[in-house]
Amino acid sequence: MLENMDDFRCPKCNKLLFKYRLKGSLAVEVKCTRCSVIATLIIKKEG
């Protein structure tokens, strides 16, 4: 059911923050619960 998910990991400590699967655009900021870095994920829909 949750196959083909992409991982979004903290760029500093590599903690798995969430998994996602989408068509389209996404912009989100997540604060890492381990090291408190604000991780930003921006995906722009192409085409």
Minimum CB–partner distance for residue 39 and Zn ion (Å):
7
Token pair of 42 as six digits:
């921006």
30 lies in the site for Zn ion, by CB under 5 A: no
Strands 6-9 and 16-20: antiparallel
Residue among 37 and 43 whose Cβ is closer to Zn ion: 37
Q: Calculate the alpha carbon distances from 23 to 6, 20, 43, 45, 46 in Å.
A: 12, 10, 10, 8, 10
Residue among 32 and 43 whose Cβ is closer to Zn ion: 32
31 lies in the site for Zn ion, by CB under 5 A: no
Task: Report the interface residues with Zn ion, using CB under 5 A.
Answer: 10, 12-13, 15, 32, 34-35, 37
